[in-house]
Homo-oligomer: A and B are copies of this chain.
Amino acid sequence: MAFMQVDPVLFAKALADETRQEIMRQLCCVWLNVNDLVERLDGRVNQPTVSHHLKKLEEAGLVAVRQEGRYRYYSLNQEFLTVCCGALVTNFAPDYRTNVIPVDAINVGRIDRGFDG
């Protein structure tokens, strides 16, 4: 995993929308392309809106992207999300910072599932 800087405001803004959180739930543990997502959101929003949200999530470092022919697959970056949450606790809840195990401490030997889990 490439080094990624945590920006607490950017992170929070990325999460601060119901639709985006729904997209994140859908992208958790799986790779989906844009139309997959549009279908799963079942008429609530349409394609340009999904693309818009994916861009925001990508800018925040919260999704990984993989181009496969004319399809673009997205998946939630769970590790970075965990790092961001840890940074929030470190920044804003120092009394509790010891309750979060830093990600890099548990990364050793981690299995990377890659495409399609």
Partner of A12, one of B15, B95, B103: B15
- This chain: copies in complex: 2
Q: Is the interface of A mostly helix, strand, loop or mixed?
A: helix
Q: How large is the interface on A (under 10, 10 to 19, 20 to 34, 35 or more residues)?
A: 20 to 34
List residues of chain B with CB within 8 A of the CB of A100.
82, 85, 99-101
In whole Å, how far is A46's beta carbon from the nearest beta carbon of chain B? 21
Residues on A lying within 8 angstroms of B by beta carbon are 8-9, 12-13, 15-18, 21, 24-25, 28-29, 76, 78-79, 81-82, 85-86, 88-89, 91-96, 99-101, 103, 106
Identity of the chain B residue whose Cβ is nearest the Cβ of A100 in the assembled complex: B100
Q: Is the CB of A92 within 8 A of B106?
A: no
